[in-house]
Chains A and B, each alone.
Chain A
Amino acid sequence: MALLVGGQLMGEAAVAVTGLPVPGSVVGMVLVLLALLAKKGHLPELRRAGSTMLLLVPLLLVPVSVGIMEQADLLQANWWPLTVALLVSIVAGMVATGLTIRWLRRFDGKQAGDV
């Protein structure tokens, strides 16, 4: 647990020092990922604490999401562009992902001989 908090704090510190436009927790995630790679995943305490944290995520998100009750006007004024934008972008994103894979799969095969 301390490792997780430490990871985030180190991330926050790195952001403060370098002025990166990225949240400290994201830098913390990269740092913890590097630590896991360096230790080849042998960080049982960290893994336990992290799994517990991830199970709680939906609960942690409730306070900020309830804020939508304050946004009724904004949603009412924008529901049409919002709905279209969401639907179009999901289909576009999925098709783009799928097509990229379809196009690149053969290179995977040549490189590694499996798939």
Chain B
Amino acid sequence: MYELSSLWQQAASAVLQHQLFPLFLTLSAYAVATWLYRQAGQSPFVHPLVLSVAMVIVALKGLGISYAHYFESTKFLHWLLGLSIVSLAIPLYTELQHVGARWRSTLAAIAVGGVVSVVTAMLMAHWLGGSRELVLALSTKSVTTALATVLAHEVGANVALAATIVLVTGLLGAVVGPWLLTRLLPGDDAALGTALGTCAHAIGTSRALQIGETCGAFSALAMGLNGLLTALLLPLLLAWWGG
């Protein structure tokens, strides 16, 4: 009996300490999360990323694995993010074909909405006594998470905090956006899509796609252009902010 339990322990520690274990953990958490997301009718509150992050954190805490070790072994997934940003060119190209005559208002709205949401977030946090780290991490809040992590790294913000802020922004935006915009511009799917994409990135866009095709297309376009705009303007904004 004693022999068997020590063998079991040996096997368990071999698995837990293996370089590949964090990858296994990540992939299985993600598989479970995607399944749950589909079961829940793709509600933004059970977004696969939120669920898998929660599961991985619980597992790491339970098994006593440090985040540093975890990240070391799953780093290559993180590296591939750069490619997913390059890939954003594809939906951006497709949606550019659809804006047609509305390009003026759409483009201006994306620029105004993008700048307003970032600046109000940073000012509010600053006035309410948020730390500099928080204010900086808010600067990438309305671009899609993949891009936000890269930008946050670039401007020296706390990357994990920035990623969390982006997720929460997306979830809130997907809920608040349709409610707000149907009061402001009733029946204008293109406007709703633009607002969702500008302020709630990919999570807003998946909400927009549920509302309709036009709404989804404008949202995808707004998300792409706002991301591009933020990437280009953020260094300037922060240079001004930092004095």
Contacts and interface: CB of A to CB of B under 8 A. Distances in A.
Q: Is the interface of A mostly helix, strand, loop or mixed?
A: helix
Contacts, number: 328
Contacts of A54: 84, 87-88, 90-91
A67 B166 CA distance: 14
Contact of B102 (A5, A57, A59, A108): A108
Q: Is the interface of B mostly helix, strand, loop or mixed?
A: helix
Interface in A66-81: 66-71, 74-75, 77-78, 80-81
Given A54-B88, A60-B77, A115-B101, A90 B176 contact: yes
Contact residues on B (Cβ < 8 Å of other chain), bracket: 35 or more
A107 B163 contact: no
A105 B105 contact: yes
Interface of B: 26-27, 29-30, 47-49, 52-53, 56-57, 60-61, 67, 70-71, 74-75, 77-78, 80-94, 97, 100-106, 108-110, 112-114, 116-118, 120-122, 124-125, 127-131, 133-134, 138, 141-142, 144-147, 149-151, 153-154, 158-161, 163-165, 167-169, 172-173, 176-177, 180-181, 184-185, 188, 190-191, 194-195, 198-200, 202, 222, 227-228, 231-232, 235
